[in-house]
Amino acid sequence: MEFEFDFFVQHNDINLYYATKFRAIDLAFYIVGNDGTDLLLVPDMEKERAIRESRVREIASFGDLGYHDLRREFRNSRKAQAEMLIRLLKTHKAKVVGIPTNFPAYLALPLSQAFDVKVVKSPFLKMRMVKSAEEIEYIRDTSRAIISAFEFALKLLKRERSCDRIRDRIENYLYLRGYLATDTIVSSGKTSAIPHASGGIIEDHVVIDIFPKSRKHYYYSDFTRTVLIEKNDKIEDMLRAVIEAQEKAISIIREGITARDVHYTVCDVLESYGYKTLRQKAKEGFIHSTGHGVGLEIHEDPRIFENEEVLKAGMVFTVEPGLYYKDVGGVRVEDVVVVRKNGCEVLTEYPKMVRL
């Protein structure tokens, strides 16, 4: 990996895990350089686990680099951490050092006094956009768990009227099967006109949006269906339009087209039925992007909106058109797809029109 700077220092967020396969619980650093440096730096108690789990060439503990002496000298753990990094980088004759945009300020400021520091998006973000075959299988695994949880939710809907209780049961169902779901959306009636709202009492329809990650491999998936419970012509018309828009968008996805192509396809279909979209600066109707990347985070690149990102085989993202009107309610249909060379594969395959 070649950088525009001498070294890049990644701290312990999900990008460190992606690059090293080491799940850092406490502060850790992954340092890579144009001189071939490939170093994972961890607290002393984590060194053995890092050696066993990570795929990095060199592993060192804070103690190996004199951290404990520095802490006694400065009587401050944060100053000691910063000085430890500075001394390490100086031994490699670093001049220009890259750090990610979310790098801790208490470390960034001392580094900027010692080196020419460039604050950039982590280079691992771009690498994460195209998934390996293994990563796709992880997302497929989480997708299967979501479908199972959704079918469990349909059974609950036959006897349960509280959105909150259904949400809690869905999240507990997934946890017991090895998946962590938080902020699951279960909304009904006019509350569903707010895309991320949840709670209330089940009325004529319910929007269920489930997006857990695996507690084993950490990969997410995402899935939404609007369940029709009682007759509501406006909601059903909205849902049919959203389903058609989603199916049309999925049909054009392949390597080489842009995110804008996909988003505008959704807008074209919805506008043809007289619904408003964000493309028209609307405040009701289709008021969000068509999708977002899914992987080690529930929202990551690529964004499927009005941008010119060219889709590549292996990209995984949601296609989730919706319509939202305060006097009626909202509907949304969402699936996760993986881009292939001549099309795409839906990882959350399930009927679009769901009636209880």
- Residue pLDDT, tens place only, 82-96: 999 999 999 999 999
Distance CA 235, CA 256 (A): 35
Convert 146-160 to b/e letters by CB count within 10 Å (16 or more is b): bbebbeebeebbeee
277-326 confidence digits (pLDDT tens): 999 999 999 999 999 999 999 999 999 999 999 999 999 999 999 999 99
Distance CA 350, CA 56 (A): 40
- pLDDT for 160 equals 96
125-171 confidence digits (pLDDT tens): 999 999 999 999 999 999 999 999 999 999 999 999 999 999 999 99
Distance CA 167, CA 145 (A): 15
Distance CA 18, CA 296 (A): 8
Mean pLDDT of the residues in the chain: 97
Confidence of residue 349 (pLDDT cuts 50, 70, 90): very high
Q: Strand pairing of 316-319 and 300-304?
A: unpaired
Beta bridge partners of 187: 199, 207
Confidence of residue 4 (pLDDT cuts 50, 70, 90): confident
Segment 4-13 shows an average pLDDT of 94
Domains and CATH numbers, the chain: 7-128 (3.40.350.10), 133-355 (3.90.230.10)
The two three-digit tokens of residue 20, written as one number: 């090293």
As a whole-number percent, the residues of the chain with pLDDT over 90 amount to 99
- pLDDT for 3 equals 74
Residues in CB range of 257: below 8 A, 6 or more apart = 310, 311
- pLDDT for 198 equals 96
- pLDDT for 1 equals 66
Q: How far is the first Cα of the chain from the last one, in angstroms, to the nearest whole number?
A: 52
- pLDDT for 144 equals 98
Segment 55-71 shows an average pLDDT of 97
The two three-digit tokens of residue 102, written as one number: 């979310």
Is the Cβ–Cβ distance between 168 and 160 less than 8 Å? no
194-208 confidence digits (pLDDT tens): 999 999 999 999 999
Segment 47-67 shows an average pLDDT of 97
Instruction: Output the pTM of the full model.
Output: 0.95
Looking at the chain, how many residues does it have? 356
Is the Cβ–Cβ distance between 114 and 92 less than 8 Å? no
- pLDDT for 320 equals 98
As a whole-number percent, the residues of the chain with pLDDT over 70 amount to 99
The two three-digit tokens of residue 245, written as one number: 């828009």
